[in-house]
Structure 1
Amino acid sequence: MLSSRVSPSIGGDTLTPAQPLADGQELISIGERFILGFFSPIQTNNRYIGIWYKVSPPTIVWVANRQHPISECNGSLSITANGTLIITDQNSKTIWSSGSSGPANPVAQLLDDGNFIVKEANVPGSFAWQSSDFPSDTLLPGMKLGWNLTSGLNRNLTSWTSPSDPAPGPYSLVLDLHGDPQIILWAGSNKLGRSGPWIGQRFSGNPDIMRFKLFILEFVMKNDEVFYMYNTTSTSIIARFTVNYTGVVQRLVWHDDSHMWSIYFSEPKDPCDYVSQCGAYGVCNADNSPICSCLRGFKPRSPTSWDFRDGCVRMTELDCRNGTDGFVTTKEVKLPDTSTSTVYRSMGLDECRAACLRNCSCMAYASAYANGTGCIMWTTELTDTRVYFGGQDLYVRLAAINLDKDRGVLLNWQTRYNIIEGIAQGLLYLHRDSRLRIIHRDLKASNIFLDKDMNPKISDFGLARIFKEDETALNTRRVVGTYGYMSPEYAMDGIFSATATATLGAIPFASHRNSERKEDKDWELPLFDLGTIIAATSNFSIENKLGQGGFGPVYKGKLGEEQEIAVKRLSKTSAQGADEFMNEVMLIAKLQHRNLVRLLDKDRGVLLNWQTRYNIIEGIAQGLLYLHRDSRLRIIHRDLKASNIFLDKDMNPKISDFGLARIFKEDETALNTRRVVGTYGYMSPEYAMDGIFSVKSDVFSFGVLVLEIISGRKNRGVSISEYKGNLLAHAWSLWMEGNGLELVDELISNSIFMVEAMNCIKVGLLCVQESPKDRPTMSSVVLMLGNRNTSLPDPKHPGFFPTRACSEIESSKSKMDVASINELSVTTVEGR
């Protein structure tokens, strides 16, 4: 940021030996895009020569005398007769010099791309010196980051020390030429982050950049120079690429309408962006907890010491001489550190594999480019590997015994049978024969290791639970485990037992990943200081506590004399975190609809007659329709449940708690996530089991709510001894028997309008159908509820429909004329 001490230019964009630039004067590029002159950073009177974008407020992009400020406003910039640029202070002492000798008739000119050059007067296209060869903290479009191999010039970015001091700070962005070149972010002498190697249109570690159509990236490797540069797709775009004083690398674009810089890329953005978080042969995934795991075929060197980055070691040593080694594919990763790798740019992938196998020191290989061409080989430990949506395939060398799927010849039927039998024996020991009765809770393929004799070993007991002798099942509020391996009662209701663990049928001996894409967040929100909040809530007094949710306690309060507020306070013990908390704040601030919550009201169940319940159902439907279709942001709530529907004083429903919500782009219909969030009993089957969520996930939750509101009962909460099906199964059974009205709450069963109630029950059952494509959209739901006499389609069975309910229904089929036995399907939920 600049001070306001500026004066008119000296008349153009050029400096001559006869006309120096005094403090208070400026050069302005021909297109009036850039200005060069003296400036003072914020909170200081020191004076510097700089170049800045002509925007308001001005943005500094280059500084000449970074380490040698002038203390008074009496300095000047001049060009000598031999073409050297100098800055002198009030005593005519030279404090900075370009150190170059130029042409016989030199001038200095500020170009419209922000480059300040020394050249021969009236001779275009040639220059003896340019500011872009000596960047500060900013790379402008067309500037080079990298090396002139002939002169040894290294163009790199260096942060400011602070907003008030442009002297070189501790952070620098440097193109490293070792191995396969990559850009390294340094903090002093320590590597902080890296871009990964150039793989064609981008660097391996920056897949997000391809989403932005504003930039054209280029990486040049020639005999005399190696550099990275970028341009914009339009000359009207004002952009910069910078490393700031906090060590964050950002790509920004200026918006005239808002007079602000928008961040299009920022790094480090998560813990896995920091170099080698997980050590040798470790792989980092920011969506996991803990974030570190081992590459396939490796195990933790010190299982309890991930914080010390001890990394991983091989389960089985390689046997290069006998030629039995092979490769396992690790998909969608940022390639490991390439500073010690070897690159063969004309070699194909098959040839690369053969060359790696011939070299007993070769640990892994990959394509050098995203299109599958070229070859990179690693002969040292693999470090700084991370999972990335849109990443590359990495082929890691393993001993034959650790290849299982890739060397399926070793897994003949007898071997597979022995593996299944061995796992079963291990589970029997855990469930019955061990002195501690243990439920594993995360039994999956990647937690089954095979020894040299192909005997299975159950591993990873981090999520296991010990049962007492008299316990048969437990309930949990937090789901842990892996999609595709969790039993239905656990995934939906949080009920786990020995039978919930023994899901052997779901183990394919191959793991898969689904990466959750993260949207850019916008935290431009009004803020209240802590003192104001403390005053409003009487210092979070117990008398003001309204309740408690996943984030922590909620307090009522008043701002001033009139405005009532509710304050959520994030608890240290919250199962959710700051990201989810800020996510909710952002969405509530941006969304405006009468059916989105602002304040929690007391339970007024005594007033919940049929008409009130019907209005609540309609209100929730309208709120969801707004989120899915009518809001300027398309929102999937992901945690729609009874406790997140609040009623105001007029009994109007308000949808609350947007901490787990996700914004969808216009062209997105569904997303995958690796981490389940939500509440048992309300999650759709495809989300609870496979991590796939869409608007139809919210429709499922809405259907559960409808049936709960009508019946006055929760979908889950029964103990295991009584577990004969949840509310969905009960409602479906009654519906198929022709006794749907028995579902209605006894408190209102004598006052309801029969046709209207049956219509609502049918809408609820349509919403909870197992297949997402069978469920209606919220716009259809609103029409169904609004046209009370409209004939609705018959629902199919709900998701997580227990087989017990099927058998009971089948026995009562003879009483019905509505459906035949062939029209009723029995669903057994299995890992997909």
Structure 2
Amino acid sequence: MKTILLLFLLLLVLVHGQSGDRMAPSSSIVYGESLSSAGGIFELGFFSPGDGGKHYLAIWFKSISVMTAVWVANRDSPLQSARGSLNLTADGNLVLFNSTGFVVWSAGTSGAVNASLQLLDTGNLVLTGGAGDGAAVVWQSFDHPTDTFLAGMRIGLDRRRNVDRYLTSWKTASDPSTGEFSYVMESEGVPQLFLRRGAGDVVYRSGPWTGRGFTGRPKMGTEPLFQFAYADDRDGLYYTFHVSDPEILTRAYLDEAGVFRRVTWTKGSDRWNLFWDVPEDQCDLYGTCGRNGVCTTAYSPRCQCLQGFVPASHESWSLRNNTDGCARRTGLNCSTDGFLPVQNVKLPDAVNATAANKTADECMSWCQSNCSCTAYALIRGTECIAWSGDLLDVRSFSDGGDEVYIRLAASELGSLRGGGAGKRKATKAVFISVASIALASACFLLALWLRCRRRTQVNEEQKLELKLYEMSTIRAATSDFSMENLLGEGGFGPVYKGEMEDGLEVAVKRLSKGSAQGLEEFRNEALLIVQLQHKNLVRLLGCCIEEGERILVYEYMPNKSLDTFIFDKARSELLDWDKRFAIIVGVARGLLYLHHDSRLKIIHRDLKTSNILLDYDMNPKISDFGIAKHFKVDQIEESTEIIAGTYGYMPPEYAMQGLFSEKSDVFGFGVILLEILSGKKSRTFDKSQPHKNLLILHAWNLWKEGRCLELIYKAMGDSCPKSKVKRFIQVGLLCVQERSDDRPTMENVVVMLRSEDVTLPNPTDVASTLPKPSDIVVHTMIPTRFVEVKAECCGLGELRGKIACTPISSYCSKSSDHIFWDFYHPTEALVGMLTTAAVEGSLPYVYPVNVRQLIEL
């Protein structure tokens, strides 16, 4: 009898259990059963994230290998066991019961006739009621999103049904309960999207819709993969998107840290790839520079006042506290005021703004006639936005953005138009790039000088947009290159701190006279950096080529280089996990820009901690492009017979064979990542293991033994999230693998660092072995302040008696600051001495070179 009863119960389960894309009235699904959309793209069922103690009804992508939930029904009321059931009741209500029959969640839709539940290929779970053509949508999951925004979904208000659709983050990466961040379309003033923390704090603001996209993301309209749409009418206010290729899987989601990310699925690599995210940088954060301030990543410090405004508190401003913002230098007079156009910006917060359909002239007249109007803008050709009060959350863009007209007193407009011999015109904002206003004659002179000195010409030289400084300006800025202004000695000359007449702090790199290699570096930096612009690359402001000097002028980095922090016992205490995390991700993004996102494909070739500079806010910027190489778009690899780089950061294929590619920089990045996490130098020299990169070897051994967290710098202690640190160590080891093909691209690295949803492969065999003395030629460049220079330029002075080998070549200039020497088959003692000197900083460059290549020369 018991057997018959069990069979009957099993039959009921089979009858009521679902395997298609629909549920009929009086049917249910239980744990282990699911609904699948017709195309097999999405699945509805029960899942248990994290430790498995809590269970949820959810929709996820069915056709991919990574479990990715896009909607969770009972996010704040989890089932405590795996024995719940989803029921479509006879009266058309969708109800989730727990194991005791208690209602955990309900759609609240009782009364629907001929109800039917269907999971669509869009990921929308739709409950309809009625028969035939009269069937109508009674309830749908797209009206009740959790953290994910799918194609076809609408974010915003349905005015007919009074439904407000917005995103809320998960509490943690493994806890889908309601987190503290939300992404909401708000209609106060002019509609905008707001990313908020808690009930009020704004983290990020999209700005108004401009017809192409939101003003805070000017490149939205240039993304061919997506079609974005916006509507504001009597039926509703919403933002949506569609995908041009239905085969592409994509989603946008608000993560637990308050970052809104758009990702796409890559079938070949089986992972989600980051397309973009916001907030992307410090200037994306709401109100960074206070009222009437403007934020730009192209300058340091990043905050400036809009033209016609001055810091409200000069003391706070000088301390980089910009919360007080800026105030008008001259009060308004209503009838005599005018307007200053400010271009390439994110429009100010429009909560205190009003919109109306007007032409450009009507828009200006409307604002002019209203004395409380402080600015206006025209978007979508016919929509006029007028602001009252202070202007908040303005940022500049190097490319794209909108134009806003700011109301200023007549006297302010007159001084702006007439001051500085026409150099500051009212049609230019204070933050427009210096490169965009450089004199064409300066560009021509620099290109001509380079051609005469090097007798070569490349197309890029005709496109230089550098400001040409006079030597008198450079001397005044650096106090005539005084020792008090000396910041340090670079590989090819000293670097000085300078202050221009307008108060701008700069770093002045003075190339050593008579250095042939330095001349090549100068040319390379001038040609490459001027064409690159990214928040994580040091910015080249201009150059000087007078009096036989070759000088590059950079933005000043007050916190110097990364190595001065992580390898200094006292200063390293200032770098907590959050700062180290930001530095690692920043360097990764800078490299990704060089490899993929800039108009040139650049291989840096000398990535190391001393070439990562830190600005006022500890933002990292990659510097020193003297030996960087420009690749063609489809070029994968190149070989060289002159190995240039730094011992300890070079991958084996480059050090031994002269082969370099994107993966060479990836290797250097991996070394830097491990140095940042451990606080240890990669080039530590141990006489008992002279041919080992001890940091990589140490990290690898700890990883294999399951003790990788012992690698991290002790001062970070318990302040760092252990799972994330372990993930970063794994990424670092993947970057320093022996075979270049096994290393990830920087595009993959950025995704792996920023998204915990991506499953990481395990590292296999890292490159911990350095070239042996019998296999290399050591090329040294030795600053003369460390050695005694012989008049005939063929001695190593104080080092000479310590070297038990014969040089095969040497060269230097009588006026040079350096000696260059190559040694054939150096002894281990020489390698040890030179390597130790390099680590201590007395020999900044030690280049291993493959002997066979040298003989072939």
Relative to the length of structure 1, the TM-score reads 0.56
2:843 aligned partner: none
Task: Name the CA distance, whole Å, in 1 between partners of 2:71 and 2:25.
Answer: 22
Match of 1:213 among 224, 243, 267: 224
Partner of 1:250: 261
Once the 2 structures are TM-superposed, how far is the Cα of residue 163 of structure 1 from its aligned partner?
2.5
**Pairwise CA RMSD:** 5.4
Alignment CA distance shift 1:309-1:716 (3 Å): farther
- How far apart are residue 361 of structure 1 and its match? 0.7
Q: Distance in 2 between matches of 1:223 and 1:579?
A: 44
Post-superposition offset of 1:287: 3.5
Question: 2:711 maps to what in 1?
Answer: none
Q: Is residue 204–residue 284 contact of structure 2 (8 Å, CA) maintained in 1? A: yes
SS at match of 2:207: strand
How far apart, in 2, do the equivalents of 1:598 and 1:490 lie? 20
Q: What CA deviation, in whole Å up to 9, does each residue of 1:408-430 have, x standing for no partner? A: 499899xxxxxxxxxxxxxxxxx
Could you say which residue in structure 1 is the equivalent of 2:20? 12
What is the letter of the counterpart of residue 153 of structure 1?
Answer: V
Report the CA distance shift for 1:633/1:31 in structure 2 as closer, same or farther (over 3 A).
farther
Partner residue in 2 for 1:312: 326
CA distance in 2, matches of 1:382, 1:343: 16
Residues 477 and 499, structure 2, Cα contact 8 Å, conserved in 1: no
CA distance in 1, matches of 2:196, 2:250: 23
1:111 aligns with one of 95, 110, 120? 120
Deviations 1:501-520 (A, max 9, x none): xxxxxxxxxxxx99934699
Distance 1:412 1:586 in 2: 39
Q: AA paired with 2:178?
A: P
Greater shift in the superposed pair: 128-137 or 102-111: 102-111
Aligned runs of 1:232-243 on 2, under 5 Å? 232-243=243-254
Structure 1 residues 119 and 92, CA gap change in structure 2 (3 angstroms): same
Q: Distance in 2 between matches of 1:359 and 1:254?
A: 51
8 A contact 1:251–1:266 mirrored in 2: yes
Q: Contact conserved, 2:33 with 2:45, CA < 8 A, in 1?
A: yes
1:374 and 2:383 correspond: yes
Query: What is the one-letter code of the residue matched to 1:309?
Result: T
1:437-495 CA-to-partner distances (Å, cap 9, x unmatched) read xxxxxxxxxxxxxxxxxxxxxxxxxx998979x979954445667999999x9845299
SS of the equivalent of 1:197 reads coil
Match of 2:312 in 1: 301
Residue 178 of structure 2 is matched in structure 1 by: 168
1:467-482 alignment runs, 5 A limit? 474-477=485-488
Deviation (angstroms), 1:587: 10
CA positional deviation for 1:623: 8.2
Indicate conservation of the 8 Å contact 2:485/2:497, yes or no: no
Q: Which of the residues 77, 90, 97 maps onto 2:99?
A: 90
Give, as a single letter, the amino acid of the residue that structure 1 aligns with 2:254: V
Partner of 1:179: 189
Q: Is the 8 A contact 2:159 2:237 kept in 1?
A: yes
Distance verdict in 2 for CA 1:406–1:290, change over 3 Å = closer
Corresponding residue of 1:539: none
**Which amino acid is the alignment partner of residue 246 of structure 2?**
T
Alignment of 1:683-698 (within 5 A): none
Q: In the alignment, what sits opposite 2:66?
A: 57
**CA separation in 1, counterparts of 2:92 and 2:69?**
25
1:141 aligns with 2:151: yes
Which residue of structure 1 lines up, in the alignment, with residue 274 of structure 2? 263
Change (3 A) 1:587 1:648: farther
> Runs of 5+ in structure 2 lacking a partner?
1-13, 424-474, 489-494, 513-529, 538-559, 610-624, 667-777, 787-810, 823-853
Q: Report the equivalent of 2:540.
A: none
Aligned counterparts of 1:594 and 1:331: Cα–Cα separation in 2: 33
Q: Does the CA-based 8 Å contact 1:334-1:387 persist in structure 2?
A: yes
Change (3 A) 1:143 1:582: closer
Identical-pair percentage: 31
The answer for the alignment partner of 2:457 in structure 1 is none
Deviation (angstroms), 1:579: 5.9
Q: Distance in 2 between matches of 1:168 and 1:142?
A: 23
Counterpart secondary structure, 1:266: strand
After superposition, the Cα gap between the structure-2 partners of 1:328 and 1:715, relative to the gap in structure 1 and judged at 3 Å, is: farther
Contact kept? 1:712, 1:745, Cα under 8 Å: no
Q: Is this contact kept in 2: 1:253–1:262, CA < 8 A?
A: yes
Structure 2 counterpart SS, 1:280: coil
Structure 1: any 5+ residue segments left out of the alignment?
A: 1-6, 414-462, 496-512, 521-548, 557-568, 601-620, 663-708, 718-740, 752-784, 789-832
Among candidates 36, 41, 56, match of residue 33 of structure 1: 41
Q: Is the 8 A contact 2:167 2:182 kept in 1?
A: yes
- The CA distance in 1 between the partners of 2:178 and 2:405, in whole Å, is 41
In 2, the alpha carbon distance for the partners of 1:10 and 1:650 equals 58
CA contact (8 A) 1:645 1:656 kept: no
CA distance in structure 2 between the partners assigned to 1:225 and 1:91 by the alignment: 41
Shift of 1:101: 3.0
**Offset of 1:350 from its aligned partner?**
2.3
CA distance in 2, matches of 1:649, 1:229: 48
Mapping for residues 67-86 of structure 1, pairs under 5 Å: 67-86=76-95
One-letter identity of the residue aligned with 1:265: W
Distance 1:479 1:335, change over 3 A: farther
The residue type equivalent to 1:109 in the other structure is Q
Say whether the 8 Å CA contact 1:333–1:385 is kept in structure 2.
yes
Q: Could you tell me which residue of structure 2 aligns to residue 350 of structure 1? A: 361
Partner of 1:152: 162
Instruction: Provide the C-alpha distance between the structure 1 equivalents of 2:646 and 2:417, rounded to a whole number of angstroms.
Output: 50
- Contact 1:711 1:743 (C-alpha < 8 Å) held by counterparts: no
Query: Does structure 1 retain, via aligned residues, the 8 Å contact 2:17–2:30?
Result: no
Q: What is the aligned residue count? A: 544
Q: Offset of 1:624 from its aligned partner?
A: 5.9
**For residues 555 and 319 of structure 1, what CA distance do their matches in structure 2 show?**
54
Partner residue, 1:203: 214
C-alpha deviation, 1:347, in angstroms? 1.1
Amino acid corresponding to residue 407 of structure 2 in structure 1: R
**What is the match of residue 44 of structure 1?**
52
* Gap change, CA 1:259 and 1:347, over 3 Å in 2: same
Q: Is the 8 A contact 1:217 1:229 kept in 2?
A: yes
**What residue is the counterpart of 2:614 in the other structure?**
none
Aligned partners of 1:598 and 1:656 also within 8 Å:
no
Cα separation, partners in 2 of 1:309 and 1:92, compared to 1, 3 Å? same
- Quote how far apart the aligned CAs of 1:288 are: 2.7
Instruction: Sort the Cα spacing of 1:365 and 1:716 in 2 relative to 1 into closer, same or farther, 3 A.
Output: farther
Give 2:510's aligned residue.
Answer: 493
Q: 1:202 to 1:312 in 2, by over 3 A?
A: same
Is residue 53–residue 60 contact of structure 1 (8 Å, CA) maintained in 2? yes
* Matches of 1:627 and 1:480, distance apart in 2: 33
The one of 67, 75, 90 equivalent to 1:66 is 75
Q: Is the 1:9–1:25 Cα contact (8 Å) retained in structure 2? A: yes
Structure 2 counterpart of 1:336, one-letter code:
P
Native 8 Å contact 2:54 2:79 kept in 1: yes
What is the CA distance between 1:235 and its match in structure 2? Answer: 0.9
Residue type of the alignment partner of 2:95: I
* 2:211 match: secondary structure: coil
Query: Whose radius of gyration is greater, 1 or 2?
Result: 1
Match of 1:336 among 339, 345, 348: 348
Deviation at 1:551, TM superposition (A): 3.4
Conserved? CA contact 2:605–2:664, under 8 Å: no
The corresponding residue for 1:606 is none
Instruction: Summarize the alignment of residues 363-512 of structure 1 with structure 2, pairs less than 5 Å apart.
Output: 363-369=374-380, 372-389=381-398, 390-404=400-414, 407-408=417-418, 474-477=485-488, 491-493=508-510
Distance 1:74 1:42 in 2: 18
- Cα deviation for residue 155 of structure 1 reads 0.5
Is residue 643 of structure 2 the alignment partner of residue 632 of structure 1? Answer: no
CA positional deviation for 1:710: 13
CA distance in 2, matches of 1:596, 1:121: 67
Contact 1:646 1:656 survives alignment (8 Å): no
* Conserved 8 A contact 1:479-1:494: no
- SS of equivalent residue, structure 2 residue 145: coil
* 2:350 aligned counterpart, secondary structure: coil
Amino acid at match of 1:168: T
